[in-house]
Structures are given as C-alpha cells and as structure tokens.
Structure 1
C-alpha cells in the first residue's frame, strides 16, 4: 500500500526548494544593500557586513520562488541616540532616512518604507531591510512606525534556534513540512503569516509521533498537521525569545477545515493505491506543484 507517497512528496518537496542561482541572487542583493548602507553611514565597507538574514531565509523555510528576503542591518548606538533626541514619530524618521540613503545607491529601484521595514524592490526579489540596534543576549531593538511609533524588542536568533533544533531532531522533516504548508498558504491565500506557520509546524512536529519518519509518512504529516491546526482556531502562541503572545485568530479556519477534508480523502486514496486520484486530491490543496503522476 501507499506505493506513490514517497515519490510524490519527495518530488513536491524538491520542487519547493530554491535553486542555487536563486540563493546566490537573494543573498548577493542582501549583502550589496547592506554595503550601500555601510558606505552611507560609516563611509566604508567592513569585512563582515553588519547583516543578519532573518525571516524564512534565516530559518531555511523559504519556498521557491521567493518574493522577498528579510534582513536586519545593525546600526550604531550613536544613530539610536540621534533619533532619540528628536520629537514625533522617530521610528518613521529613521526608516525614511534609511530609504533616502538607499535611493542614493539605487536611484532606479522602487523602494518604500512600510511599518517596520524599507522595501528595496529589485526585478528578481525584494530585499526587506529592518534597521536594528544591538541589545544584550542576542536581542535587537527595531522600529515600529505604527500608532505613533515605538521601539520593539525582537529575538530572531531564538526563532532560528528553535526551528534548527526541532528540524535536526526530526531528520529535516520540520523545514520540509513548513514549506509544504506554506505552499498551501500561497495557493489558497490562507490568511496566516509565514512566521506563524513556521512556529505552528515546529510546535506540532516537536511532539508528533511520526516526526522522524521519511517521505512515506508525508501524507499523514499534512493531514495530521491540518487537524491540529483546525483545533487551534481562536488560540495563540508564544514567540521564542521575547515571550510575546500572538493571537492566531480564526479567519483562516474555514480554509483549514476544507484542506483537512481533502487531505483525509487523499490519504485514503493513497492507502488504496489509487495514486492518480490521490494526486488529483492533493492538487486541490497545493496546486500543480505536487505531481499527480509519479513513477
């Protein structure tokens, strides 16, 4: 039984991974944007750019093609002190100054400041720049321009470490399942943020009894995660490092229930070795990226 599951989900997972050219393009643009800010603020480029790749790229959960790469660029305490001496929305003023500095380096490139980031929109990928200031213990202070502006403490290293630890313990399955669920999010416009999917999958896989199995169990991975997700509507979760409580809401619940119903049917077709019918069911969740026909 289940003659097609390994081949189907191996091919699906591999298709979601970035190509080497895409990785080099994204990281190269992130480094060059950081260097442009170094020149603007320090007059030189350091051997080690003050750059930290965060978000899905930092966690290794990005899906091909990736629309953006998130980076944190560290600024000196003197820059923070300069803006702290101002009045008004100091966080917005910081983002606008960073944007102006990048416009000098990339005058033909679209960019805008948006809430917490400056978005540098290249043809192949958008680099989302968050200016940050170092705090003890690996945490950072970042600007948030909403509601008049504030400084927000974030801990990207704690999130990255959590994903890494659980992914290692589950033989790489945590990152793989995260990418698969993100494909559902993308295909069905599910109103769940990517970083929440990352934390939800990690939490699920940390206690899932089959988490260390291979692709043979991936149909169950999908079904059982969706079942767990449906049960979390109206709840929340803690963000590693800062302990911030994030409300999950329930506006995604109907789509999760629909996907779960399809996944349960697809798993039954896989059990009966109706591999084409199973593939057709999976495509109603994930679109054409998951194959119907496998060898």
Structure 2
C-alpha cells in the first residue's frame, strides 16, 4: 500500500460514524430541551443551543469523546446570578447540576476550567454543558468559577470559523491534521489541550508549503507539524474572537519530541519503500487504528 492509501485508511478508521454523530446530537438536544423547559416558556427551537467543541468544528474522532453544548440563557438569569455576593458563577453551575441530577444521576460539576456541568449518559456519551449569554460587542459571556467567580469572554463561533476557513484553504487538510493529532494525544496520553492542537494545526498549515497537497505528503505533514510544535513550547496564541491568550505550556514537550523522532524515521522508511517499517513507526504515534 502507498503512503497515501495507508493514511486514507487511517483517517477512515478514526472518523466518527453517522450513528455516533446522531447519538451525540440526540444527547445534546436532550440537555438543551431540559434547560429550555426550565428557563423559557416559549416553544423549543435549536437556536437556544450551539454544538461546540470537536462536534461543532467537525474534528471529532473515533472512539467518541465528550459532546460540548452551549446553552443560551435568558438575560434575567445573568442579572440574578451576577447579583450574588460571592461566586454567582458557581451557584449557576450548581443550579444546572441540580436540574440534571434527578434524570441523570451521574451528573457532576467538573473542576477543570470551572465553566461546565458534565452529564454522563448511559449511552456512553458525556455531555459538557456550558451556559452562556450574548455579549455586547460580540462573542459570549460564560461563567468561570475560579478565584471567587467571574464572567469570561469567549467566541465559539469564531473558533469554529477559524478551523472551517483553514480547512477550505487547505483542501481539507486542516481537519485531517487535527483529527490525527487528537489520536496521538489519546494514544500516547499527551497532556496537551485539544484547543492547542487546533490552533497550532491552523497556524502550521498557514505557512507550510504543501498545505493543499494530497495525502501523498501526509507523512511529511505529520513530521513537520511535530517539528514546529516542539519549537513552540511555552508560546501562546490569541483565541479567535477574543483578546485572550492561550498558553501552550511544555508538559507535553518530551512526548512531542519522541513523536517527531519517530515521524522522521517513518518518513525515511517511506522514502526507502520500507512500508511495513514505516507503518510500525506510525503505529507508535497513532496506535492500531493506523493499519500495517
């Protein structure tokens, strides 16, 4: 098999299925309907929620991960929780948690970024629920429970557009690169945020000279992405639609360096037509979903 055909098979293996997408949407809609029924007396419409994260950006991989859904709250609720003397943001998440717990007993408020409530469905999907309000001047306000509580400016539509625009410019290579990096992240237990991988993938392909080429060059694309990622340890990127800087950190650096060394070796094997040896190196990076 050629390099292109093996990467094509790999990408087909890691794509979420239509059934998985339908299940994710069903779970997200169930959450949105529950919140809409509590906070609004108007007929339900999908406009009250926005699918964000990997499903919203069309970068989800198999096996499926969390489904992220943003729910637009009434303005009156912002004023109610903003009026709390201390950490109304935490009170908001606790209220949402209480609404879900009777129906979904494994509901929990997560520590992590202090913004979401997690609902664990028996179907296997986990839904992360983010309450939000439209912000004057653009974007959204979402709760942040850390340090006594605050309202954070985000713009998930801008993040979605950032990936989509790059994918259109690169002939579909942006989303494919992000998906492959998410498989590396999981298979090698890499402590790097998915958002960092997305931002770096777009930035990398904006200057890579073969960004619109076919899968024939995917071995080089993966190799060169890891080389640049290693160089960007402890750098940052402005999150689309906001002025907030996403710090990359470096706790993942040693694993990125290891992946780069293996990718270099795999590319050398590809050039020498040693396809089995190359595939074994790619499997060290991506796991068994990359077939021999």
Residue equivalent to 2:62 = 64
Contact 1:234 1:250 in 2 (8 A): yes
Residue equivalent to 1:188 = 188
Q: Separation in 2 of the partners of 1:258 and 1:165?
A: 31
Q: Separation in 2 of the partners of 1:277 and 1:127?
A: 40
Is 1:110 aligned to residue 109 of structure 2?
no
**Structure-1-length-normalised TM-score:** 0.95
Equivalences for 1:189-204 in 2 at 5 Å? Answer: 189-204=189-204
Q: Separation in 1 of the partners of 2:73 and 2:118?
A: 17
Residue equivalent to 2:20 = 22
Give a deviation string over 1:202-260, Cα, whole Å, max 9, x none: 11011111010111010001000000101111211111110211221111111111110
Instruction: Please state how far the C-alpha of 1:49 moved relative to its aligned partner.
Output: 4.2
Instruction: Please state how far the C-alpha of 1:136 moved relative to its aligned partner.
Output: 3.3
Instruction: Please state how far the C-alpha of 1:43 moved relative to its aligned partner.
Output: 4.0
Contact 2:39 2:74 in 1 (8 A): no
Could you list the runs of 4 or more consecutive aligned residues of structure 1 that deviate by over 6 angstroms after TM superposition? none
Q: Which moved more, 1:39-48 or 1:227-236?
A: 39-48
Contact 1:279 1:291 in 2 (8 A): yes
SS in 2 for 1:136: coil
Residue equivalent to 1:165 = 165
Change (3 A) 1:274 1:190: same
Residue equivalent to 2:260 = 260
Residue equivalent to 1:32 = 30
Q: Separation in 1 of the partners of 2:288 and 2:63?
A: 14
Contact 2:187 2:285 in 1 (8 A): yes
Instruction: Please state how far the C-alpha of 1:61 moved relative to its aligned partner.
Output: 0.9
SS in 1 for 2:207: coil
SS in 2 for 1:223: helix
Name structure 1 gaps, 5 residues minimum: none
SS in 2 for 1:237: strand
Q: Separation in 1 of the partners of 2:42 and 2:121?
A: 24
SS in 2 for 1:177: helix
SS in 2 for 1:110: coil
Q: Separation in 1 of the partners of 2:243 and 2:59?
A: 22
Equivalences for 1:1-295 in 2 at 5 Å? Answer: 4-43=2-41, 45-104=43-102, 106=103, 108-114=104-110, 115-123=114-122, 124-292=124-292
Name structure 2 gaps, 5 residues minimum: none
Give a deviation string over 1:111-168, Cα, whole Å, max 9, x none: 1112110100013110100000111354110001111111101011111111111100
Give a deviation string over 1:57-113, Cα, whole Å, max 9, x none: 111111111221111100011001111222111000000111111224x1x431111
Q: Separation in 2 of the partners of 1:15 and 1:137?
A: 42
Instruction: Please state how far the C-alpha of 1:48 moved relative to its aligned partner.
Output: 3.3
Contact 1:35 1:49 in 2 (8 A): no
SS in 2 for 1:206: helix
Contact 1:31 1:49 in 2 (8 A): no
Q: Separation in 2 of the partners of 1:276 and 1:120?
A: 43
SS in 2 for 1:212: coil
Instruction: Please state how far the C-alpha of 1:44 moved relative to its aligned partner.
Output: 5.1
Aligned length: 288
Higher relative contact order (CA 8 A, sep 6+): 1
